A and B are shown apart, each in its own frame.
Chain A
Amino acid sequence: MTAGQDGYQHLALYHENTDQLLESVVPFIHDGWAAGEATVLIVDEETIAAVRASVSGHPRLTLMDPVEAYRNPNHAFAAYQRLTEAEMASGAAGARLLSRLPYDPNPIRSAGWAAFEHSCNDIFADRALTMLCLYDTGALPNHVIDLSRTTHPLMVNGGHVRANDHYEAQPGTIAHALDTAHDDLERSEPTLTVGVVTSPRHARTAVLDVLNSGASGATSGAQDFVAAVWEVLLNAFQHGRPPVHLRLWLTADRALCAITDHGTGTTSSLTGLGLRPEQAQSSGAGLWLARQLTDTLVLRHHDESFTVIIECQLTA
């Protein structure tokens, strides 16, 4: 397997069992070491054990906690950047990443992670980083597998790398998934509805009051969620078209907010996904921050309106 010697490479490995996984993963790791690259595993415990049993110990094989790395897509980008820079600072020629994204049956979350996968191709295009993403075809639903085929330029099978004919350089299928994915909460009655937002500050206060009245009101998660709602609300007023609507759902441990305006929305469904903007005045900085502060943020384009969905787990 020669992937990795030409800078950034993004591969998908579809496997039904551990043997199929190791058939490609072991040469992936060995080829990297031969090229002077370090390997980082961001995978589940079972995969870690299988890999360690198959490759002998090497100083350039490290682990990263997937729970920490995959807090949200923007955190994951930053984690990938940090590990690449750290490995190269310690003398590695590049970094190889073996990853298994967390699967979440929530449609907006799984669509959000698929968008993350696609965004990697632009964000890390100039990095010495090779990413091998693992997909267990026996455990994942077909729609997740199908989406992943549109986000990886390369595939590996039996240790052999080939171009992925289903890869979409322009994320059309991803955009459609983001436009159509809904959280179950959206089918229930909102906790708060502001039919027409006339004052964004008043709307922010109303959201804050609802969060503070809930069990998780005093948490930093709730404060971060309100800050994210504010950035999206301000965008709707400053860049969208009135009227602006706000709906908020609050459960014991989750908050979800939908903000709709009647403009055309962002030019891309992936706006705000990525590493920290160079400057706070960069276009998309507000959406970037909102993504940074929450678990899930989805941009949903309709024919005559644009909705931003913000979702967050709240814990006391």
Chain B
Amino acid sequence: MSWMTNPTHSGHVLLYAADEDRTTPLVSWVRQGLVDDARVIFPDGDGDTPNASLAALTGDVRECDVFQGAVDTGQLVVVPARDFYPPGNVVRLADAARADGYSEVRMVGDAVTALAILGRVGYQDLERRFEELSADRQVAVLCVFDPLRVPAAVIEDNVHLHRSGVQTSVFRLAASSPDTLMLAGELDGLSAAIVERTLRRMCATMTGPEVHLDLSDLTFCDVGGARALFNGTASIRERGKTVWLVRATSSVHQLLAMLGVTEAQGLRVKVPHP
């Protein structure tokens, strides 16, 4: 599935993954940025050396060599965490990249490290800066939230600032058109809470009378995932909007039907897979 190795290339995305699950999407995101001739700016782990952070990121000697080459040319920049996270600094780093001739910039942020350096208020300011930077579509930001280490309240406060959606190691929610949200991969109870919050926020920003949830690439859904779909769309359905479940696979459709989600008020099914 291409999206798993090619996370959202633009905008401000929340990557919800613990340490052991973040490497693949993170490395893919950095790699794609290098292929696209973007400058990729990556903060080290607070207290780690840049090389140690790079090694930890790649976990692969060959990959590390490629990335090391990008460091040598200045395309991949590893910045000490305390120089990266202050909100004004991320703006200066993006400006400096453009001054160096890069038309695209990618930035990675780690919520745990940023919180430790900035505190909750400072962290939220940082997220607002990331959102502003990504709004012009020349800066793409990937914010990593470790579900085991980031307090739920912090996630609650900041999920709305990631307008481009949420991603985990096995799932992605992103807008594919003004009235369509794409849900791909495996929507399970481990990420259902963050998906529900994000879905609620993204549905609320859609202005048309209908919202389409494209489920054609959703390979797995459990009870928690069904809850996220139901609860995440409840507000807009209560306000009279129709939510279409589009092209669900037979197994996903079966589960949603078993749980009665397909019978919910304001929810309709369109073209299930045979």
Contacts and interface: CB of A to CB of B under 8 A. Distances in A.
Contacts of B16: none
Interface in B215-256: 222-224, 226-227, 230-231, 251, 255
A230 B188 contact: yes
Residue in B188, B222, B231 whose Cβ sees the most chain A Cβ within 10 Å: B222
Interface residues on B, range: 10 to 19
A27 interface: no
B260 A234 contact: no
B152 to A, nearest CB: 14
Interface residues on A, range: 10 to 19
A37 B224 CA distance: 41
Given A201-B170, A280-B261, A281-B230, A227 B255 contact: yes
Contact of B223 (A200, A220, A286): A286
Main secondary structure on B side of the interface with A:
helix
A230 B258 contact: no
Contact of B189 (A238, A279, A292): A238
A231 interface: yes
Given A230-B222, A234-B224, A281-B227, A201 B258 contact: no
A289 interface: yes
Contacts of A231: 222-223
Contact of A279 (B222, B224, B230, B255): B230
B189 A234 contact: yes
Contacts of B20: 199
B138 to A, nearest CB: 35
Contact of A223 (B226, B251, B258): B251
16 contacts: A227-B222, A227-B255, A231-B223, A234-B190, A238-B189, A276-B258, A276-B260, A279-B230, A280-B223, A280-B259, A280-B260, A281-B231, A285-B223, A285-B227, A285-B259, A289-B259
Interface of A: 199-201, 220, 223, 227, 230-231, 234, 238, 276-277, 279-281, 285-286, 289, 292
Interface of B: 20, 170, 186, 188-190, 222-224, 226-227, 230-231, 251, 255, 258-261
